[in-house]
Amino acid sequence: MARALLIVDVQNDFTEDGALAVAGGAELAARISAFLHRHAEDEYDLVVGSRDWHHGDDDNGGHFAGPEGPDFVTTWPVHCVAGTPGAEYHPELDTEYVDVDVFKGQGTPDYSAFQARTDGGVLLPGLLAEHHVTTVDVIGLATDHCVRATALDALAAGYDVAVFDDLVAGVDADRSARALDEIRTAGGHVDHSDMDEGLANPGGAVL
């Protein structure tokens, strides 16, 4: 009956000045760090960080746009190429509490962290099974893309799933609201964390 926290794609390319920037991404990274400092050790048996980790020498199964340019639905600008600064976690994300990294999109157009695997090749469902996880909380980027896909896959796999609406950020506000509604409809919980506006992050800045 273990509980896991999935931190989805809090990477440089998905935050300000990145190839696919989400507004507020840097602030979200700091807010997640504050949440981890408050909750990770006492409330989670496993903390997993997922990252897009794309090939740099092919189109990753059509995920990267060709000469016609991206449609921002199924094709995208080049982003999160393995080993590049854009694929690294945002520096405001404190990775001290991340127990395991999983990587997705290695030659394929993956969105869900449930398509990701460890360096040793273990898929996320297998990793969760190893730790007897039954409850999964999902936070990160972006609400209307990879957070949505991850939460829906977790629900389809039979986990008790919650998304914290103040610990995610989306590309499009309306689409993000629809994504959260879709998660609710599928049986997930959309909750608000206990992180209030006056909480200071470890560096002393007020979030």
Q: Which residues are catalytic?
A: 9, 104, 146
Residue 82 CA to residue 99 CA, distance in Å, equals 20
* DSSP assignments along 67-87, one per residue: TT---SSS-B-S--BTTSGGG
Query: DSSP state, 192?
Result: -
Contact 133, 159 (CB under 8 A): yes
The tokens 């969760």 sit on which residue?
A: 128
Q: Nearest to residue 22, comparing CAs of 205, 130, 145?
A: 145
Query: Containing H/E element for 184?
Result: helix 173-185
Based on the number of CB atoms within 10 Å of its own CB, is 68 exposed (0-12), middle (13-18) or buried (19 or more)? exposed
With CA atoms as reference, report the closest residue to 122 among 133, 130, 111, 134. 130
